[in-house]
């Protein structure tokens, strides 16, 4: 039930952001300086769970015996590219509970206070820069970013 609530919350959040046409910083995935800086942030803060090559953890769509989902991939096989830039930023900064509720079980920490906004955008730039060009293009077409 909580998984369904999370999926619904993400969908509602995505629709809200699209409806509001929120203008915010976009993932600077074509800026080589920010991508390079983002790689360092990713390697220090994200790779331990999401994988050195953005591959995620094994069986990432199935909850473990403690009720937690393993870390999903951030490459083209995952769902990261299905979300708008601002949602990815807020998910990273505030954690999944922002979208799914405070009782949602997740090992994903909120990075607010640990990483500054630029570091979060840079990590996202690194992630998006690794997607195949067709996925980058589709993400941009769908979300106008």
Helices of type H across 26-116: 32-45, 47-50, 85-94, 97-100
Residue 52 covered by a domain: yes
Indicate whether 124 belongs to any domain. Answer: yes
Range of the structural domain that residue 38 is part of? 2-20+31-143
The answer to whether residue 35 sits within a structural domain is: yes
Residue-level pLDDT, tens digit, the chain, 145 residues: 554 444 444 444 444 444 334 345 789 999 999 999 999 999 999 999 999 999 999 999 999 999 999 999 999 999 999 999 999 999 999 999 999 998 898 999 999 999 999 999 999 999 999 999 999 999 988 887 5
Q: What is the CATH number of the domain that holds 74?
A: 1.10.760.10
Residue 122 included in any domain: yes
Residue 112: strand, helix, or coil: strand
Asked if residue 25 is part of any domain, the answer here is no
Quote the number of domains for the chain. Answer: 1
Q: Is the entire prediction scored with pTM above 0.85?
A: no
Torsion from C-alpha of 12, 13, 17, 23, nearest 10 degrees: 180
Closest CA to 117 of 49, 48, 34, 16: 34
Residues 6+ apart with CB under 8 A from 122: 28, 34, 35, 37, 38, 41
């Amino acid at each position: 039930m909580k998984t369904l609530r999370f999926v619904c919350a993400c969908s509602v959040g995505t629709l809200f952001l699209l409806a509001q046409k929120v203008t915010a910083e976009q993932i600077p995935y074509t800026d080589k300086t920010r991508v390079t800086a983002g790689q360092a942030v990713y390697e220090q803060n994200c790779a331990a769970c999401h994988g050195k090559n953005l591959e995620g953890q094994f069986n990432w769509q199935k909850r473990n015996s403690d009720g937690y989902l393993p870390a999903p991939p951030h490459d083209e096989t995952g769902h990261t590219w299905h979300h708008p830039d601002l949602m990815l930023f807020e998910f990273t900064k505030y954690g999944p509970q922002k979208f799914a509720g405070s009782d949602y079980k997740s090992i994903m920490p909120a990075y607010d206070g640990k990483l500054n906004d630029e570091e979060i955008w840079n990590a996202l730039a690194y992630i998006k820069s690794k997607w195949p060009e067709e996925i980058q293009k589709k993400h941009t077409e769908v979300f106008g970013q």
